[in-house]
Homo-oligomer: A and B are copies of this chain.
Amino acid sequence: MEAVYHVRGDARSIEERARAIAIEQSVEMPVAAIDDEFVRAQIVGRVDTIAEKSDGLFEVRIRLAGETVGQDPGQLINMLFGNTSLHPDVALHDVELPGELVVPFGGPRHGLQALRQRVGAPRRALTCSALKPQGLPAAKLAELARRFAQGGIDYIKDDHGLADQAYAPFAARVEAIAAALREVGHATRYVPSLSGDLDAMRTQIKRARDAGIDTVMAAPMIAGLANFHRLVREHSDMAFFAHPTLAGTAIAPPLLFGKLFRMLGADAVIFPNHGGRFGYSPETCRRLAATALADWHGLRACVPVPAGGMSRDRVPEMLDFYGVDIMLLIGGALLEAGAQLVEATSTFVTEVQSYKHG
């Protein structure tokens, strides 16, 4: 595999810096002290190319041995960026992964096409909103979900702050919300947020499934990549949304969300759209969405979900920008409608449904 780092430094020292990264991310010891032929030939990382991207910013490509990873997603990120993440002057920009490493992870078990079919929307962009604020009891969250569904929304996700708190325990919340959506009777899907350790998440998925739910959300950087992937493998009937919380800024979002989360089984990846509460550039967002949807080792397409402070007046612009292979997530700006939540949701949904590329 080939890892691509963006390194801040100066031209005089960049070669030495690049070699240091290659060693840190492989054998982590002086190469001269290694007398094993296999390790010297196969395991030691090698600097492939160094190119100055702009003044003081270098793109460093390093070949790392796939043998160091096995089939462990945690070990993959450990080998790509573990100790090097402790350096403020290095970002992990991209990785080229061979098919024999990617394919066994399997990617999305459902993906864009299935998430569309579930809500009877074969061609258009999908719609989504969020249940918040945390602190509300299950009954109030269920009432919000009912009104989103009455407005015709496709997916309703938990705010990622909703966990298993005393004021709205996971089990009570899931049952109340699932019951509310059954009453409305639309195809609207509720996507509860998983939290806790791997076993707690397994229990939550079982509860969700028992309530008739077929989609859940997890935060791979908090759960651990290996645990996220384990959940995907064990619950092939469930579709998984991946939430970006704790993803930081040092791993390029198109790589982390569009490539790694997708490879490990995310059917949809939520990310901060440009021009919202976060600082992602339009170019970063465009590359992220394109990466999540691209033909790549035969994996299913993963749905890009731009979010983070979106509002209804941005719908046409976002659809022009991303096209319709997307899920539009508007949370707080819909909730601001208060008593008019059903109408606000319906307006959002209608706008997305009637959109024609300009």
Contacts and interface: CB of A to CB of B under 8 A. Distances in A.
A347 B13 CA distance: 34
A52 interface: no
Interface string A14-51: 00000010001011111011111011001110000000
A104 interface: no
A contact residues, range: 35 or more
Interface string A195-218: 111111000000000000000000
Contacts of A245: 78, 82-83, 85
B86 A247 contact: yes
A91 to B, nearest CB: 10
Contacts of A107: none
Interface stretch (A2-10, A156-164, A295-303): A156-164
A38 B82 contact: no
17 contacts: A27-B132, A28-B161, A28-B332, A43-B134, A67-B166, A72-B164, A75-B195, A82-B222, A85-B246, A85-B249, A86-B244, A86-B247, A86-B279, A88-B279, A223-B224, A223-B227, A227-B227
A358 interface: no
A135 interface: yes
A327 interface: no
Nearest to A224: B224
